[in-house]
Amino acid sequence: MEYLAIPSVKLTLICLVIILLLAGWQYFPKKKIFLAFCTVLIAASLFFFFSHKQASRPAISEEAKYAMQLEQHSFITWYNDYKKNIDTIHHHWQQYHTIMQAFKNDEISIQTVYTRLKRLQESSADLKNKTARLEPPPGLEDANYELTIRIIQKTRDYVNREYEVISKTKEAADPANLKTNDQPQQVRALNRMMILYSPVNLNIADEISQLKANLTIPDEE
């Protein structure tokens, strides 16, 4: 009866109950008979849903619970450290846009843009090397291991893309590569790099949500 956990199935069953109630109103003109019909229908519906609810939360053994607790601890320890990478990613992206906006506003020179982007590129390279060494925590079951691998791969792809846009923009800002001294044209050249190479959003919400569900001990729900 796992299919009952699907929201669309639940909605269909609720609609069916409503239709039966409306049909009962039409076919049972006597009030007492209609009330008896409603009582039976509602009681059957409640029994149906609550019996499924109880069946969907089977008890687990103490050994299985202990194994899940170890897996929880392993992943949480790993994830708390992993989130530091996310903070660094956001910091790099914020710095990049701050540099670009300052140049657009003509608050800094193209030479300053190049110098700042060069430092940012070096920091981004360090993060790229760090995420390249990321591995899932030990002790995960296969499904959770695969979900963690997907998180790592998405993170690596994003960091690589972030490094690329920083590097490309730095190259375009290199005074040795400039084809014009006109500041608005330089702004357009740098913006072109940002548009072409910026990474899409790092979306790992689905994986984190599934891991949370997988690592939740039934009696802790």
Residues 139-149 pLDDT 10s = 999 999 999 99
Map the chain to HEC letters: CHHHHCHHHHHHHHHHHHHHHHHHHHHCCCHHHHHHHHHHHHHHHHHHHHHHHHHCCCCCCHHHHHHHHHHHHHHHHHHHHHHHHHHHHHHHHHHHHHHHHHHHCCCCCHHHHHHHHHHHHHHHHHHHHHHHCCCCCCCCCHHHHHHHHHHHHHHHHHHHHHHHHHHHHHHHHCHHHCCCCCHHHHHHHHHHHHHHHCCCCCCCHHHHHHHHHHCCCHHHC
Q: What percent of the chain has pLDDT over 90?
A: 65
Task: Provide the residue type at 189 as one letter.
Answer: A
Q: What is the largest CA-CA distance in the chain?
A: 93
pTM attached to this predicted model: 0.71
Q: What percent of the chain has pLDDT over 70?
A: 72
Task: Provide the residue type at 51 as one letter.
Answer: S
Residues 153-165 pLDDT 10s = 999 999 999 999 9
Residues 192-213 pLDDT 10s = 999 999 999 999 999 999 999 9
pLDDT class for 40, splitting at 50, 70, 90? low
